[in-house]
A and B are shown apart, each in its own frame.
Chain A
């Protein structure tokens, strides 16, 4: 069973690595990611939002929806941990007695 799991892992890893060969080179200016919308952000973000830090401009404004749900995810994580793990002190005393 372990050998089968190892085999599956290796095959999946090999397929994924093979898939990366189609990727554009790192930092390629002609890649779709660099030609489509990044150029617009670099040219217009400071002018449109008055935020010198492009990362903040993209994160907080252009992709605000994404950032909002990141916050909500963190909030839900805290909520879930509290609702699952939080115990009242009286429970502990009950279990001791």
Chain B
């Protein structure tokens, strides 16, 4: 109890212990659901864009409930930039690999030369790889956009 009181006294204006505790509990499930939406895009509504937005929203919630520095402890500016690059690169790189291994651009069956899964299974698996790339790019871009716009470009305190 005393610990809670001390914690509450340390809070700045606009921060609430209830909201912070609730977000602490919710954010793992939000992120898990985001991963589920990306991975389960083959069987249900969802996919890279939607799952990426859900994952990005978890970082936005973290930045709103606590402050931006706290949110950036979990994914730094550099990491998110790298992830955005990686995501776009995964998509374009998959397409280019298909072209290199003797198919058309983004014709995933051509990757059968690398790992023999069968041309049709590769079309399914290629979609999955590409969706993961989209998810990474969208997640980190959501977070970056919120951080930069919310902190006046300084990436410190935020809203």
Contact = CB atoms under 8 A, between A and B. Distances in A.
Contacts of B121: 50
A71 B127 contact: no
B47 A74 contact: no
A50 B145 CA distance: 36
A52 B106 CA distance: 20
A76 B92 CA distance: 14
Given A49-B120, A51-B124, A71 B42 contact: no
Contacts of A57: 127
Nearest to A52: B43
17 contacts: A48-B120, A51-B124, A55-B45, A56-B47, A59-B47, A60-B126, A61-B108, A64-B106, A65-B106, A70-B134, A71-B88, A79-B84, A81-B149, A82-B81, A86-B148, A87-B152, A92-B154
Interface of A: 48-53, 55-57, 59-61, 64-65, 67-68, 70-72, 74-75, 77-79, 81-82, 85-87, 89, 92
